[in-house]
Amino acid sequence: MTKRRSSTARAGAPRLSAALIAGSAALLPAVAPAQQDAGDDSLPTLPVPQAAAAIPDDDASTRPTLLEEVIVTARKRAEPLQDVPVSISAFNADQLDARGIQDVRDLTTAVPGLTVTDLGGYNLIYLRGIGTDIFIPSAEPSVATYLDGVYFPSGHSLAQAFGAIDRIEVLKGPQGTLFGRNSTGGAVSIWSRNPGQTAETSIQTSYAPRFDDTRTRVYTNLPLTSDVAASLSAYYNRADNVYRLDNGTGDHLPPEIGKGARIKLGIRLGDEVSLLLTGLAAQQRGTSTTASANVDPTPLLGATLPAETRDYVVTANSEPKLTTDSRAAYAILNWNHPGVDARLLGSYYFVRAHDYVYDFDDTREPVATYGADSEYQRFYTSELQFTSNADSWASSWLKWVGGLYYLSSEGGYDPGYLRLVDSVQLPISNIVSALPPALGSSLDALLGNSGLPESLTFYFTGLLKTESYSAYVQSTASLTDWLDLTLGGRWQREKRRLAQSDVDVGAADALLGYSFSPAETSATNFSPKVSLDFRPLQDVLLYASFQQGYKSGTYNIINIFAQPEYVKPEQVTAYELGLKTEWFAHSLRLNAAVFENDIKNLQTGFMSFTSGGAINLENAGRARIRGVEVETIWQPLRSFDPGLVVSGNGSWLDARYTDYENGRGFDESTGLAYGNGNFSGNRIVRTPKFSGTASISQSFALPGGQLEVAGDYYYNSGYYYLAQNTADTFEDAYGIVNARISYLYRRHGLRVTLFGDNLGDERYNLAQFHTDFGREDTLAPPRTWGLRLNWDF
């Protein structure tokens, strides 16, 4: 550790990535467009059709929206959902609107095995028990997020409000072969609408009076010439904070405001070549889950702190707030050749969180505040992909895809801070005696036993750089009319570099500083995939698969008292048996899967000041997840009542750490952190044993249109937030009831919906955060209702 006086983050765009993105902007190829459905006039800039798969004419009049087939690209080519031997939950735009899904959190009730919580402005996504539970730039999600085929690695949700989109695909289990790094839990693929040759506009607006909640999105498409079209999508959301601030100042918490815009330009350069250019910007401003209440102070450091017993009340003296800015640009060029389709993609993505304040003790006492002046991530990616087509050799029985991928990124804090005691005089002995001996001695020596100054603030600057190369290939051979074999693999080499880790300590007028040593680690991985799928009957698909996934190793970039540690890569080996079926003339769809995930070096998080750092990632030695999932949609009275649809899904998970020694936790008698816990046999965090949704909808034909009445019930059996699995870290079981009534006036494409969310007024958490000072909860919104208007013309 080297003494230093001050620190300034140094960030610059890597030259190689800049060259790649510049080259891509000028000449950018991507997977060749799949065959378009009849009547689809969108420019061929997206490798999937825009519409749901066609169904027989005799089914069309009686097939409800929820039973429509969705075209997916789970294997980098356009295929009907039911024909893909991968566990997927997919929804087109109409299905998303019918279910009331407007952002990533809403997917929880629609996708079995998916849990979405929030912490410090990060979306923490767990899928089948695998996810990331910490909010630092170096802790990338375990469930990869893609927008229009472009990888967005940040935990800050770019698609906080989805805006106008075409469909969403949630791919479960590791997707290491085709989706690459950091997809050990799966992948969420969001596809936005593409420019086309038909002028159209879509508007959605809603209002919920309880929190003056307004949400508006607009999409418009304009053909400029026969070969050029442009589209614009924008959204603006505003709502009063569900929490009230009561700290004696008379101030109010800011409203939650989200806004963004996306512009796309599609260009047909020839019969076989098309270019898609996209730019977007978004901002989320408010408090997110930085607004929380200390409901259970710890016995020692929190002994004098009052527990908050009121719902939706914050007493923080450091007023919570957070602003997140995102911007991205990407370009894709599709190029069809006889025998092969090519795609070259280049992207740039930047996200920055600032004006970040989190009251670390979450009370009106001026004890501790965590925050960041600037926390950012910058990514450059390039991908070259080749896909077989109808003119390829052996195309009647062999399909394949392969490619090369490159990623360069940097990110960190510039700076973040942890402030202890705001403008108050306390004897330092009270603080030092409550800390671990090594930490207490360090503070005692640092301050010279002089008594605590007006403020003691640790400023930390951390910078992590990444460079990753990979190559992949996957092929599917039809051995018979009813048996397919899929083989694939991905090779990856990645270099992580802790470029900077500095700490400045502000004590009165003095400023002390020190720097930790830079570090660098390289790792190589190969992730294989083997799958067999059988079709013993029409509309029945059975599959068995073996695959592996890999999540990159990383560094704890902001340890305060110790050299930042390297966190080993997370590796998953998955086995799955699956079933996809449709029965009774496509009126019943029943899909199921049974699986086991064996995980080595599962990355998990812990945050504590007294543990020798601030935010820490660490490795659990091994973990195992066994589970069963079921999804079904049924039209039970097709002849007598075709508008009645019943659906449901369920996920049963046995997710446990099988070898987790020397884990970090909080002592129940003192509340102080320790680092020698044995959590082997404990349940994996943020993973309920059971979660599921039951839904029913009834539609009626009325003059000029259609009326629909629908409702759903979601149940979650509860889960732990910390690996130590103590009672105070458990989220109790909860159930949520939602309902809606809508009327569609077909002549003008106008739909009016009356909706109600959490009608049972259930209390459950969006976030539960454990610190040295206690358990801090952020409640999900209470009962709300409102009106939503959709107008397409």
Residue 264: pLDDT band by 50, 70, 90 thresholds?
very high
Identify whether the C-beta of residue 762 lies closer than 8 Å to the C-beta of residue 176: no
User: Could you tell me the CA-to-CA distances from 665 to 568, 611, 687, 787 in Å, in that order?
Assistant: 20, 9, 18, 45
SS3 percent helix, strand, coil of the chain, rounded to 5, is 10, 55, 35
Tokens linked to 349: 């993505």
Tokens describing residue 125: 């996504």
Whether pLDDT at 40 is above 80: no
- The answer to whether residue 280 scores a pLDDT higher than 70 is yes
C-alpha span between 86 and 71 (Å, rounded):
13
| Residue 184 pLDDT greater than 70, yes or no | yes
Instruction: Return the number of other C-beta atoms located less than 10 Å from residue 288's C-beta.
Output: 27
Give the pLDDT confidence score for residue 29 in this predicted structure: 32
pLDDT value of position 613: 58
Q: Which amino acid is at 493?
A: R
pLDDT of residue 559: 78
Give the pLDDT of residue 450: 46
pLDDT tier for residue 557 given thresholds of 50, 70 and 90: confident
Query: What pLDDT, in 10s, does the model give residues 94-153?
Result: 888 878 787 788 889 899 999 988 877 778 899 999 998 887 777 788 999 899 998 988
**DSSP sequence for 333-396:** EEEEETTEEEEEEEEEEEEEEEEEEEESS-SSSS-EEEEEEEEEEEEEEEEEEEE--TTSTTTT
> In this structure, what CATH number is given to the domain that contains residue 292?
2.40.170.20
- Tell me which of 727 and 612 has the higher pLDDT: 727
Coil, helix or strand at residue 669? coil
pLDDT at 459 over 90: no
pLDDT at 47 over 60: no
For residues 532-547, average pLDDT: 96
pLDDT given at position 49: 33
The pLDDT > 70 percentage for the chain reads 85
pTM of whole model > 0.75? yes
What does the pLDDT average to over 617-643?
A: 93
The token pair at 166 is 């075409």
* pLDDT confidence of residue 443: 54
- β-bridge partners, 345: 332, 383
Q: Does residue 733 or residue 441 have the better pLDDT? A: 733
605 versus 549: the higher-pLDDT residue is 549
Q: Report the range of poorest mean pLDDT among 137-141, 201-205, 702-706.
A: 137-141
Bridge partners for 787 per DSSP: 207, 754
Lowest-pLDDT range of 229-238, 463-472, 559-568: 559-568
Any idea which residue has 């965590």 for tokens? 370
**3 has a pLDDT exceeding 60:** no
Looking at residue 12, its pLDDT comes to 40
Residue 172 in this model has a pLDDT that exceeds 70: yes
What's the half-sphere exposure (Cβ side, CA atoms, 13 Å) at 180? 28
Taking alpha carbons only, the member of 554, 525, 523, 529 closest to residue 544 is 529
pLDDT at 104: 81
pLDDT tens, position by position, 152-163: 887 775 554 566
pLDDT of residue 48: 35
Chain center to CA of 248? 37
- Find out whether 608 and 772 touch, Cβ atoms under 8 Å: yes
pLDDT confidence bin for 609, thresholds 50/70/90: confident
244-245 and 313-314 beta bridge pairing: parallel
Residue 353 neighbours by CB distance under 10 Å: 28
Q: What is the DSSP letter of 61?
A: T
Domain count of the fold of the chain: 1
- pLDDT surpasses 90 at 210: yes
Omega prior to 415 cis, within 30 of 0: yes
Beta carbons within 8 Å of 148's beta carbon, 6+ residues apart: 46, 190, 191, 192, 278, 330, 332
Taking the C-alpha atoms of residue 552 and residue 175, their distance in angstroms, rounded to an integer, is 14
Q: Any idea what DSSP says for residue 54?
A: P
Q: Are the C-beta atoms of residues 763 and 783 closer than 8 Å to each other? A: no
For range 359-374, the mean pLDDT: 88
For 47, 250, 310, 429, the CA distances from 306, given in Å and listed in that order, are: 57, 19, 12, 22
Question: Which tens digits make up the pLDDT trace of 281-299?
Answer: 999 999 988 999 999 999 9
Contact between 628 and 652 under an 8 Å Cβ cutoff? The reply is: yes
pLDDT the model gives residue 56: 38
**Is the Cα torsion angle 358, 361, 366, 370 positive or negative in sign?**
negative
> If 0-12 CB within 10 Å is exposed, 13-18 middle and 19+ buried, where does residue 400 land?
buried
Is 631 a residue whose pLDDT tops 60?
yes
**Distance between CA 265 and CA 227 in Å, rounded?**
11
Q: How many residues does the chain have?
A: 793
Task: State the Cα–Cα distance between residues 9 and 414, nearest whole angstrom.
Answer: 6
Higher model confidence: residue 54 or residue 551? 551
List the domain range (segments joined by +) for residue 155.
2-792
Asked whether the predicted pLDDT for residue 399 surpasses 80, the reply is yes
pLDDT of amino acid 61: 44
Residue whose structure tokens are 């795609």: 343
pLDDT number for residue 30: 33
Rounded Cα distance, 210 and 755, in Å: 13
Residue 615 CB burial class (10 angstroms; 0-12, 13-18, ≥19): buried
Mean of the pLDDT values across residues 332-349?
A: 95
Give the count of beta carbons closer than 10 Å to the beta carbon of residue 54. 14
Predicted confidence at residue 551, as pLDDT, reads 92
Beta bridge partners of 316: none
Confidence check: pLDDT of 569 > 60: yes
Contact 53, 40 (CB under 8 A): no
Q: What is the mean pLDDT of the chain?
A: 85
**Whole-angstrom Cα distance, residue 688 to residue 764?**
14
- Say if residues 85 and 543 touch (Cβ distance below 8 Å): yes
Task: Give the pLDDT confidence score for residue 187 in this predicted structure.
Answer: 92
Q: Which pLDDT score is estimated for 263?
A: 95
Percent pLDDT > 90 in the chain is 61
Banded model confidence at residue 741, pLDDT cuts 50, 70, 90: very high
Angle, alpha carbons 327-185-287 (nearest 5°): 45
Give me Rg for the CA atoms of the chain: 26
What one-character-per-residue DSSP string does 153-200 give? --SS-TTSS--SEEEEEEEES--TTTT-TT-SSEEEEEEE---BSS-E
Lowest mean pLDDT among 258-262, 554-558, 679-683, 692-696: 554-558
Give the residue, 246 or 40, on which the prediction is more confident: 246
Higher-confidence residue of 59 and 361: namely 361
CB atoms within 10 A of CB 203: 16
d(C-alpha 708, C-alpha 220), whole Å = 27
525 residue type, one letter: N
In this prediction, residues 416-420 reach a mean pLDDT of: 84
